[in-house]
């Protein structure tokens, strides 16, 4: 089960180092303003719910999701199931934050409780219960294990993340957990939503903000999972790191005196005297080689991030 190729580490280590540095900076400045944290948490909860549900086919827009969750509005033309998916995910998030505050290790019971909320009023017969029959996943390059093995494999996965026998850093560990969870496919329905909650339980217990996989990265996300089925975790790890970079930058922006300003790359190239063009800087962002994050389909970075990359290259020559 633990076929993990760690050759990607050499390429991603600078990215990991940057993210852990940002986490340390965030921890050193805690507690942040209560009002600022509340606003960020509320905004990210809506984004998280929208993106996670959209990846699974929910057609609610970000604005419609916000209206349902914060205004109690019913959206005309949208199914009852889609409304339940939004409300259920927000309820599961509330439980998630409670679990983060507990000092205990992650458990199967925690994840079953999250899954029960995800499927509440949708598939009540299956909510919070492992599947008891075989399943197939359209478009995937593997077949999930026999249902009789699910419980023991899941226990093995929980033991693995709690013991961390391979000495993985917390980003790598959450990535491996995410993939192995999807591979086991422990539930008939709700696997994706639940794993994106559970892997963030791991990250948030380690002091990171949530990593929100964006709807626009859906194809990249599934490609990363399929690569991980063959033991190659580079694509999935990079996507996870990029999701974390975005939310770390959001929280760091709430630190008093932080004047770091992220600009869309196309605009930055026009405004700043940089040694590279838009295409190359965008490539560096996609590869995780510079401090950058994605909003929608566009990449944002800073002049300082590009200059730091240039200086680093000079030192290595």
Angle at CA of residue 42, ends 40 and 43, nearest 5°:
65
Confidence category of residue 317, pLDDT binned at 50, 70, 90: low
Q: Residues 124-161: pLDDT tens digits?
A: 999 999 999 988 777 777 789 999 999 999 999 999 99
Query: In the chain, pLDDT over 90 holds for what percent of residues?
Result: 80
CA distance 38 to 15: 28
Report the pLDDT averaged over residues 232-259. Answer: 94
CA distance 286 to 299: 8
Instruction: Output the pLDDT for position 296.
Output: 87
Instruction: Output the pLDDT for position 22.
Output: 97
230 burial level (CB within 10 Å; 0-12, 13-18, 19+): exposed
Instruction: Output the pLDDT for position 1.
Output: 64
CA 201 to chain centre: 10
Q: Judge whether 56 and 193 are in contact, CB under 8 Å.
A: yes
Q: What average pLDDT does the structure give for the chain?
A: 93
Instruction: Output the pLDDT for position 83.
Output: 98
Q: Quick check: 295 pLDDT over 80? A: yes
Report the pLDDT averaged over residues 4-24. Answer: 89
Instruction: Output the pLDDT for position 263.
Output: 95
Find the catalytic residue in 83, 89, 178, 185.
Answer: 185
Spell out the residues 6+ positions from residue 95 whose beta carbon is closer than 8 angstroms to its own: 113, 114, 117
Whether 83 sits among the annotated catalytic residues: the reply is: no
Q: Quick check: 5 pLDDT over 90? A: no
Q: Residues 77-104: pLDDT tens digits?
A: 999 999 999 999 999 999 999 999 988 8
Residue with more model confidence, 21 or 274: 21
Sorted by where each starts, the structural domains of the chain and their CATH numbers stand as: 9-252 (1.10.3290.10), 263-316 (no CATH)
Q: Judge whether 198 and 227 are in contact, CB under 8 Å.
A: no
Instruction: Output the pLDDT for position 2.
Output: 66
């Amino acid at each position: 089960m633990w076929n993990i190729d760690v050759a990607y580490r050499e390429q991603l280590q600078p990215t990991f180092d940057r993210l852990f540095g940002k986490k340390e900076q965030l921890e050193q400045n805690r507690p942040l303003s209560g009002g600022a944290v509340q606003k960020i948490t509320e905004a990210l909860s809506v984004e998280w719910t929208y993106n996670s549900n959209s990846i699974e086919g929910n057609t609610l827009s970000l604005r419609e999701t916000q209206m349902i969750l914060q205004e109690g509005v019913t959206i005309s033309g949208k199914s009852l199931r889609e409304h339940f998916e939004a409300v259920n995910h927000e309820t599961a998030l509330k439980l998630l934050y409670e679990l983060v505050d507990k000092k205990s290790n992650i458990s199967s019971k925690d994840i079953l409780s999250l899954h029960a909320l995800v499927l509440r009023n949708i598939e009540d017969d299956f909510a919070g219960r492992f599947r008891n029959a075989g399943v197939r996943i359209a478009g995937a390059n593997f077949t999930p294990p026999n249902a009789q093995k699910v419980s023991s494999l899941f226990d093995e996965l929980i033991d693995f993340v709690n013991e961390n026998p391979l000495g993985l850093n917390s980003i790598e560990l959450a990535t491996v957990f995410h993939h192995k969870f999807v591979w086991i496919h422990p539930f008939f329905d709700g696997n994706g939503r639940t794993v994106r909650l559970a892997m963030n339980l791991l990250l948030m217990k380690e002091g990171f903000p949530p990593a929100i996989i964006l709807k626009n990265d859906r194809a990249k996300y599934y490609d990363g999972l399929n690569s991980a089925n063959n033991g190659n975790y580079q694509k999935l790890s990079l996507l996870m790191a990029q999701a974390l970079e975005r939310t770390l930058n959001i929280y760091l922006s709430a630190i008093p005196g932080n004047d770091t300003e992220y600009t869309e790359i196309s605009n930055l190239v026009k405004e700043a005297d940089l040694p590279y063009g838009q295409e190359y800087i965008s490539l560096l962002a996609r590869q995780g080689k510079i401090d950058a994050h994605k909003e929608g389909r566009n990449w944002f970075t800073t002049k300082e991030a590009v200059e730091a990359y240039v200086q680093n290259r000079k030192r290595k020559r």
